[in-house]
Amino acid sequence: MRVRHAVPFFCCAALLVTAVAFGQVRGTSDRVIGVSEITPGMRGYGLTVFRGTEPERFDVEVIDVLHNFRPDQDLILIRTPHPILEDAHVVAGMSGSPIYLDGRLAGAYAYGWPFSQDPVAGVTPIANMMVEMRRAVRPEAFVGARPLAGRGLVPSRLAGPHLAGLPAYRGDPDVTATTALEAHAARVGALRTPSGTTLIPAATPLLLGGFDDAVVRLLDEQLGGFGLMALQAGGAGARTPPPNAPTAFVNGGAVGVQIVRGDIASTAVGTITYVEGGRAVAFGHPMLNAGQTSLPTALVRVLHILSSSNRSFKISEPIGPLGALVHDRQSGVVVDSGTTAATVQARVRITGIADAPRTEWNFEVASHRVLTPILLNAAILNAVAATASDSTDATFEATSRVWIDGRAGPETVVDRGYSQLGAANAATLRQLRLFALLEAIYGNPFAPAQATRVEIDIAIDYARQTVAILDAAVPALEVDPGATVPVRVVLRRFGRDEEIRIVPVRIPEHAAGQTVQIDIQPGPAVHLEHPQPRDLDELIRGVRERYSATSMVVSLQTPFRGLRFSGHVAHHLPSSALDSLQLTNDSDRNRPFVTFDRHEVGLDQVASGGARIEVTVRRTPR
Amino acid sequence: MIHSHRSRALALAAGGCALATALALVAPAFATSTERFVLDDAAALAAGELGRTIVHSDGRVTVGAELERIALPDDVPLVYCTVRASDGAIYLGTGNDGKIYRVRGSAVSLFAETGQLLVASMVIGQGGAIYAGTLPEGRIYRIGSDGQPNEIARPDGVEHVWDLAFDAQRNVLYAATGPEGRIYAIDPQDAATIYWDSPAAHVMSLALAPDGALYAGTSDDAVVARITSATAAEIVHDFPGNEITALAFASGVLAVGANEFPDPPAVTSLQTATPASPSSRLPRPRPGKGRIFRVTSDGRTERVFEQDEGHITSLALLADGTIVAGTGKDGRVVRVNPNRTTATWIDVDERQVLDVSFGRGDDYFVTGDGAALYRLTDARPRSAIWESKVLDARFVSRWGQIDWRGEGQLVLQTRSGNVQAPDETWSEWSSDLSRGGPIRSPQARFLQVRARFDRDPDAVLRAVTAYFLPQNQRPYVTEVRIEGANKAATDLMRAERQHHVPDASTQYKLAWTVDNPDGDRIRYRLRFRQESQRVWRDILRSDVVLTDENYPWQTESIPDGWYVVAVEASDELDNPGNLTLRDTRQSEPFRIDNHAPTIEQLRFAANHLTGRAVDGLGPIARLEYAVDGGDWVAFFPVDDLFDTAEERFDIDLTSLPPGEHIVSVRTADAGGNLASAETQLRR
């Protein structure tokens, strides 16, 4: 009986939970033990890799069973009297280690208490994990993924764009590298700093190679809430697999989720619990709790278990790519060894730094709405930190090119910025429009899309090439309607005298008798009104079309309102037209906005500051 | 619209609705709460729904024209403009995808796609070509019979092309644009030049006179100009308001649709694409005032129509001088006759009538916020119904008689409910009433009346009157205040600081507030009792009718003590006894203390003056003494506390110089009552 082919997955899941619990699933009934059969004091063993690639046994003794630890999920409490575990207690990387009782598979070593003095752990029952392993897969969730020959992704009746469970992106200009991560963390309720009394998933070591310490700390902050422990411990893997290296996943064997590989690398390490056909379950708890996903996985070799009262973890490295993580769920992750996950080829190049030891990084990063931006952000920050770590005035120009699957040329955005804390400023770099571009690609509500290649060229100049908008004035605060007013903007460039720039602004005749407001702002401070996008191209156009950081924008507020429509923006609407174009059942997207007459003035340098003046327009010309 | 008919309530109360009018003259004066809805003028009659009926400015309701509704595809939200070709085909300029539809007979087909947001203007040009002006990029197209749009102009700075006019004599296309407020002239070679640069932001409307003069109306001033060449423009009139949305010229007369819009809705200027929240309320412009003017060739300008809600969107001027106008609220077409009488002529379900075409052989109009084309037919309406607006009696009411004035065989019906918008909780329409009689709908707060003209297409309805008796509403006394109850003590304390003691007053001001939902006249009765007693005593004589919400109560004859006052509110002055409702509220307990304390046992011995201050209610609040008529000096009782009705005192007069002295002692109780005593002593 292949239940997963016959009924919708939710029916399948319910049947499987029941079936497994009573040992009725064909082929596993004699190998698994249900929670109801487990009693305190039972003894058994676990399998995990302490060194190399061969799983070894460790003893376990059942303390008791915690019922309904998670929704529909019990937890088996065990003690692990093993010489290594007596010292290390809960070891990051052991998550998923299969636990056998009465010679049968009971579940996966998965939970522990931080700062615990006893080698006590929680075991996720195998029944819950088996349900996930046999869950159907939605093909559209695997943009760019490739099944191996002869294997197809299992279709299901659930369909929808691949948005990683997050709201669709419709053009919010304030997107940063961490926007999707923050939304995801809010959605799944990522852990904050755990207390010693909270039972939490045994941490998953995220082994990082080639990263600067500051970037490791940044990733630890960003991903720590999901139980990922960022560690500066290699992760790139051997260039050639060791002799006799395994070629398939085995129960108790180590598995890595390679979210970055190349000149920099990052691998999350855990343990395979159970292998069935081309699928395997691991971890016993979620990695990011991202649901159906697609991340590259690899076979892993353990070099050492580092014991520490603070954090114990497996030092390990990948030895060869194999398969993809296809489910990231509450009771564990599922690896399909017949699938190759899509990745994004990336290059970060730094220019402008004389005698830099290294100027180019090439790597491959997981293709994922949440992960790709933060990993690229880390890579960029890492490259800048390695090349231009000086904490001094720095101006940069970042050219980001993103290739989208199925399209010819790249989408390009150029950002300019300034940081007085040096170029390696995380707060500045996370705002590059590259990340809005990626959010548009992965989060667009129109069609599945995937970035295939990203190139970021960052030109750094150790100079304060900035211009501050200090003040603005007009010759007279009362002007004629229809007059062109010379707005006198006072600028100051670093190291130079104040500079006056005259910007002619025409006062519309219809402003007669009114007071009009003129704002002088740096380009990025002005939000352009974009149409409601109708497709990915329009969404990307909205990301591209923004005022330059090296310009100032002079905006005259008009009394008219405008409206945004699909593909169009209407400005300066008179009241009758505004009334006609707003329909009774319009949603909030059709909210009117104030319209401005704007003039962009190039300044060659990154602008800051701002000014505002108000001018009274005479009723009639004098 | 609600008229009180105070003299009829008794009749209704007795259930004699039909006799109400007859009894009116003999009804007692106290029964006064019958009210009525009277719909007897054009404004009141036009406030409801007009189903193929007309409301004339003289207050008549008659049968109107039959309409053929031709719907556009569901994804078209509005038809903004229309033009009729010589072959009878009607072209519709629409939003929000900038499409042009063609209507032949009743068949609608897509004719052209501009790719713009809105086709805001169209005109037929040389050889039957259709010119279309669009927004938001200010593109102007020429569209041949194949429906292919060819962009012929996109003037710099132009975002909107609000109107087009084609001068066949000069073979010139004029385009009225915004937001620079310009008219462009486009020659046969498609060269666009500025024809008139107005001071306004928008030129919204054009009308071409046979002599080639071009009339233009502007926004957001409301000026109409007459332009005869690129260098010759004169202001015809500066109209009240801020938009001239429509112009029409015929037979030497210019019709002008001038509107006055309030300030645009306040909105944020920050444009972020936050996810839509369907529940939020959008800021919408409030309805504008609409006015229609007629300007004759001698420059005389007269207002021929005005309404406070609903701007004029479009105009047609017929050869006989009749003006037909579409309005921007409630989907209505109004008609202004040459004699200046007007009529609310057509009422459709869509929110706005955005363009009208009358007097050109095929009368029709188009709508927005629900896109449709309506064509007037010669047939008599299959169903002609006038429906009043929902009439609000403010409270659940018993309905009385319904009467109407009119001619012919009219049938009236009513329905009622307790929510403002009729829904399934309302009653069904009542059975037919072919003459005045009792309203046959259940008692409720809201009532609606409709008149059907299907028995007699020539019938006329002039006025409707519906009587009702609102359910009497109980008056509630919400607060009783005794002003002055603590006054004496308060003043005493203040007086302490000012070194004198005030006289206590025996008058207390009773005041109360009342929630009186139906505005009946209220009679108040006042009673009091000692706090510890159960028997209430009247403050007022039985023949005193108190209607004020306060009363000065003289308490001189009331023994000292703690009291409670009760105020009863009764609406008996406006309701018969069986319908009278009352409410009573008591005050907080308060003290009445009108009697002075006494000073007893005043003795002088061993340089000490001793005695007692005694009050009936207490406590003693103050003690003072004065020597030989000097200043009063306050002193404390023996136990230092003013806390009982009897306080012993002991004044040390050792410091007095030897000799004869007169020492006065005075005391005040908490009610401010004073007493004093004096003694002559030798030191």
Please name the residues between 160 and 219 in chain B that touch chain A, using a CB distance below 8 Å: 160, 162, 178-179, 181, 198-202, 204, 219
Q: With cut-offs at 50, 70 and 90, classify the pLDDT of residue A133.
A: confident
> Which residue among A561, A569, A575 sits closest to B243, beta carbon to beta carbon?
A575
Whether the per-residue pLDDT at A418 is higher than 90: the answer is no
β-sheet bridge partners, residue A171:
none
Whether the per-residue pLDDT at B560 is higher than 50: the answer is yes
Which residues of chain B neighbour A508 with C-beta distances below 8 Å? 179, 201
Q: With cut-offs at 50, 70 and 90, classify the pLDDT of residue B286.
A: low
> Which residue among B273, B282, B354 sits closest to A172, beta carbon to beta carbon?
B273
Average pLDDT, chain A: 83
Least confidently predicted of A111-125, A253-267, A417-431: A111-125
Whether the per-residue pLDDT at A156 is higher than 60: the answer is no
pLDDT at position B23 is: 30
Please name the residues between 85 and 114 in chain B that touch chain A, using a CB distance below 8 Å: 95-96
- Coil, helix or strand for B42? helix
pLDDT at position B88 is: 93
> Which residue among B78, B159, B245 sits closest to A571, beta carbon to beta carbon?
B159
pLDDT at position B352 is: 96
pLDDT at position B448 is: 97
- Write out pLDDT tens, residues B146-193: 999 999 999 999 999 999 999 999 999 999 999 999 999 999 999 999
Nearest-Cα distance to chain A for B111, in Å, is 21
pLDDT at position B73 is: 96
pLDDT at position B278 is: 36
Nearest Cα residue in chain A from B203 = A574
Q: Which range has highest mean pLDDT (A578-587, B363-372, B654-663)? A: B363-372
B624-628 LR contacts (CB < 8 Å, sep 24+)? B624/B501, B624/B665, B624/B666, B624/B667, B625/B651, B625/B663, B625/B664, B625/B665, B625/B666, B626/B663, B626/B664, B626/B666, B627/B653, B627/B656, B627/B661, B627/B662, B627/B663, B627/B664, B628/B661, B628/B662, B628/B663
β-sheet bridge partners, residue B307:
B290
pLDDT at position A17 is: 42
Please name the residues between 164 and 183 in chain A that touch chain B, using a CB distance below 8 Å: 167-168, 170-174
Nearest Cα residue in chain A from B269 = A594
- List the structure tokens of A255: 């598995």
pLDDT at position B579 is: 84
Closest CA to A404 of A345, A451, A342: A451
Residue bearing the bigger pLDDT, B6 or A56: A56
pLDDT at position A88 is: 61
Whether the per-residue pLDDT at A147 is higher than 80: the answer is no
A461 and chain B in contact, CB less than 8 A: no
Q: With cut-offs at 50, 70 and 90, classify the pLDDT of residue A72.
A: confident
Please name the residues between 252 and 291 in chain B that touch chain A, using a CB distance below 8 Å: 259, 261, 263-265, 267-278, 280, 282-285, 287-288
Whether the per-residue pLDDT at A174 is higher than 60: the answer is yes
Whether the per-residue pLDDT at B272 is higher than 70: the answer is no
β-sheet bridge partners, residue A349:
A360, A457
Q: Average pLDDT of B242-251?
A: 95
Q: At what angle do helices A371-387 and A213-223 cross, to 10 degrees?
A: 160
The model's pTM: 0.75
Which residues of chain B neighbour A481 with C-beta distances below 8 Å? 199
The rounded distance, in Å, linking the Cα atoms of A538 and B204 is 31
- b/e per residue, A366-377, with b = 16+ CB within 10 A? bbbbbbbbbbbb
Q: What percent of chain B has pLDDT over 90?
A: 70
Please name the residues between 496 and 515 in chain A that touch chain B, using a CB distance below 8 Å: 508-510, 512
pLDDT at position A293 is: 83
Q: Do B201 and A530 touch (CB under 8 A)?
A: no
Q: Write the CA distances from A307 to A111, A183, A621, B325, integer angstroms.
A: 17, 35, 84, 87
Torsion sign, CA atoms B547, B552, B557, B558: positive
Torsion sign, CA atoms A266, A270, A275, A279: negative
Nearest Cα residue in chain B from A555 = B269
Q: What percent of chain A has pLDDT over 70?
A: 84
pLDDT at position A139 is: 57
pLDDT at position B9 is: 36
Nearest-Cα distance to chain A for B508, in Å, is 58
Whether the per-residue pLDDT at A276 is higher than 70: the answer is yes
Nearest Cα residue in chain A from B199 = A509
- Write out pLDDT tens, residues B37-71: 999 999 999 999 999 999 999 999 999 999 999 99
What ipTM was assigned to the predicted interfaces of this complex?
Answer: 0.74
Instruction: Check: CB of residue B148 under 8 Å from CB of residue B126.
Output: no
Residue bearing the bigger pLDDT, A584 or A264: A264
Whether the per-residue pLDDT at A27 is higher than 50: the answer is no
Residue bearing the bigger pLDDT, B30 or B669: B669
Least confidently predicted of A13-17, A525-529, B202-206: A13-17
Instruction: Check: CB of residue A474 under 8 Å from CB of residue A455.
Output: no
Least confidently predicted of A308-322, A397-411, B179-193: A308-322
Q: Average pLDDT of A231-243?
A: 67
Q: With cut-offs at 50, 70 and 90, classify the pLDDT of residue A317.
A: confident
Chosen for mutation from A166, A576, A593 (greatest number of chain B CBs closer than 10 Å) is A576
- Write out pLDDT tens, residues A176-214: 999 988 888 888 765 554 444 556 666 788 888 888 888
Please name the residues between 347 and 376 in chain A that touch chain B, using a CB distance below 8 Å: none
